Amino acid sequence: MKSGSPIVRLGLVQQRIRATRQQTLEAAEEAIVAAHERGAQFVCLQELFADPYFCQVEDPQYFALAEPSDGALVSRFRALAARLGISLMIPFFERRAPGLFHNSAVIAGPGGEQLALYRKMHIPDDPQFMEKFYFTPGDLGYMAVNTPALRVGPLICWDQWYPEAARLTALRGAEVLVYPTAIGWLPSEKAGEGAAQLDAWKTIQRAHAIANGTFVVAVNRVGQEGDAETGIEFWGHSLVVDPMGRVLAEGGQDEETLIVDIDRSAIFETRKWWPFFRDRRIDTFADLQKRWIDETP
């Protein structure tokens, strides 16, 4: 475990999109400042927090929203991290090169320095979530990043459904898996499947925490985006889960900033009794690199 105090205060900024980008950024800054004033040492924003979730349609105009990792958006929030002396996870639409874009996040340190750049590894392609049109799968791999307060494992949204991603990040020593997220209900599905979808989403976060003996954080947006009949109602419910799978805090469906203390010593204590890393049969896992296992009768 990373040295220092075992108690770390986290801030999860759950917001809706404003009428203009400037208003959205100002609201995010205000929430980060408020989280700092409440003692947060590490703060995370939601996936693609600066703009409406444009992946509901395939439209080349939205490539204009992308910026490089040292562009104006990330630089603005790195400067805020430096002013407040906090660590900050900044999700953004990355323009890497002409025709090459990623769904990414920078982790900024309390001096405003870039501690890491993570690129979303798993890219969905579902109704209203047509991300493959915009994003190239990440090529930087899974990582664990040292901040002054704790060792963070950055992941993004669709990554949160893959136990392999959680495991490989935890195996690098991440004390908390952090998932900036944009997920919600489609109107055609909410009545019949909405409760089950939300429950599945919360269950998979709890399962990652239990299976890896680590903390898990998911930060989702809220609000209706797009047409009421065909758009997405983002469901919020940002949450923090401890290594036993207990939900330490959970948001609702409105804007809020969750402030949550985690005790990193719980990782050591939990893994003493649930030593899943010790008992892994790594000699039997080679088939995990296959897309499917075709057994010959």
Report, as residue numbers or ranges, the catalytic residues. Answer: 47, 120, 157
CB proximity list for 239: less than 8 A, separation 6 or greater: 202, 205, 217, 218, 247, 248, 249, 250, 251, 258
How crowded is residue 6: how many other Cβ atoms within 10 Å of its Cβ?
16
14 with 149: CB under 8 angstroms? no
Give 224-248 as a DSSP string.
Answer: EES-TTTSEEEE---EEE-TTS-EE
121 with 159: CB under 8 angstroms? yes
d(CA 18, CA 33): 18
Question: CA-based diameter of the chain, in Å?
Answer: 64
219 with 237: CB under 8 angstroms? no
